[in-house]
């Protein structure tokens, strides 16, 4: 039986977090917003919309924010958690599809975007292509979208994998560690919404973050192979 919650890692997302939380209320699951050191009132907006807010005193990165949310989910007795980005690009219906994609609570479910069709910025497409190439190569199987923030984590299993990345590289690292641990991996197509160019806000850095993702992938592969010897 799936006992689910939603986790929203958020950094300076006061303009969008209210809409995100309001949409997630249609899933009828607890909503945890992890305020990762925001300075713009993100926590206050999320709390006013009914979310449980967990705070980091300083910005620690998306990976740490997800870990904080998963640790609270474990304490609350949840066995799966769907993560949703705070910028509003993941409609509630897409989150519902990811949440319902597998009856296996141990499965890692990845949302798969059509970045070109949905109008993703070029830096997002480049970063995702780099991540997909390297993770697919080292995983020994094709992976369609390794950096989508809309995914479903098995709570206890994810926390036990020992992922170390603090930022965006966490999402790629988890994929490799989950496959190495023999966890089921499910990919499901989803729709996303990108605002007009002049309204977009992202903390993803087009060169630095893909480089960190590749470095994390290589180090993770080396560690997993060393363990297997």
> Residue 170: in which H helix or E strand, if any?
helix 169-180
Q: Where is pLDDT greater, at 122 or 15?
A: 15
Query: Given a cut of 60, is residue 228 above it in pLDDT?
Result: no
> Residue 171: in which H helix or E strand, if any?
helix 169-180
Query: Given a cut of 60, is residue 197 above it in pLDDT?
Result: no
10 in helix, strand or coil? Answer: strand
CA 35 to chain centre: 14
Give me the pLDDT at residue 212, please: 72
Give me the pLDDT at residue 204, please: 56
Say which DSSP state 185 is in. E
Give me the pLDDT at residue 205, please: 53
**pLDDT tens-place string over residues 11-49:** 999 999 999 999 999 999 999 999 999 999 999 999 999
> Considering the chain, what percentage of its residues have pLDDT values greater than 90?
67
Q: Across the chain, what does the average pLDDT equal?
A: 89
Q: What is the value of pTM for the model shown?
A: 0.87
Q: What is the full DSSP assignment across 27-39?
A: G-S-EEEEEES-S
Give me the pLDDT at residue 229, please: 42
Instruction: Confirm if 21 and 88 have CB atoms less than 8 A apart.
Output: no
Q: Where are the domains of the chain?
A: 4-228
CA 12 to chain centre: 17
Instruction: Confirm if 116 and 60 have CB atoms less than 8 A apart.
Output: no
pLDDT-derived band of residue 92, with 50, 70 and 90 as boundaries?
very high
157 in helix, strand or coil? Answer: helix
pLDDT-derived band of residue 115, with 50, 70 and 90 as boundaries?
confident
CATH superfamily of 4-228: Spore Coat Polysaccharide Biosynthesis Protein SpsA; Chain A (3.90.550.10)
- Calculate mean pLDDT across residues 146-168: 93
């Amino acid at each position: 039986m799936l006992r689910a919650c939603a986790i929203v890692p958020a950094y300076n997302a006061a303009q969008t977090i209210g809409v995100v939380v309001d949409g997630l209320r249609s899933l009828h699951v607890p909503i945890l917003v992890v305020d990762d050191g925001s300075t713009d009132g993100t926590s206050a907006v999320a709390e006013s919309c009914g979310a449980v807010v967990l705070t980091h005193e300083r910005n620690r990165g998306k990976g740490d924010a997800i870990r904080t949310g998963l640790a609270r989910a474990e304490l609350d007795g949840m066995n799966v958690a769907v993560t949703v980005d705070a910028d509003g690009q993941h409609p509630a219906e897409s989150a519902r599809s990811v949440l319902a994609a597998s009856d296996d609570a141990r499965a890692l479910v990845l949302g798969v975007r059509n970045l070109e069709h949905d109008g993703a910025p070029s830096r997002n497409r480049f970063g995702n292509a780099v991540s997909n190439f390297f993770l697919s190569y080292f995983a020994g199987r094709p992976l369609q979208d390794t950096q989508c923030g809309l995914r479903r984590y098995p709570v206890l299993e994810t926390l036990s994998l020992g992922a170390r990345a603090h930022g965006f590289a966490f999402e790629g690292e988890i994929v490799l560690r989950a496959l190495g641990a023999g966890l089921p991996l499910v990919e499901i197509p989803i729709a996303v919404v990108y605002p007009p160019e002049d309204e977009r806000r992202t903390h993803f850095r087009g060169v630095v973050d893909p480089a960190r993702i590749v470095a994390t992938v290589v180090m993770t592969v080396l560690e997993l192979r060393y363990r297997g010897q």
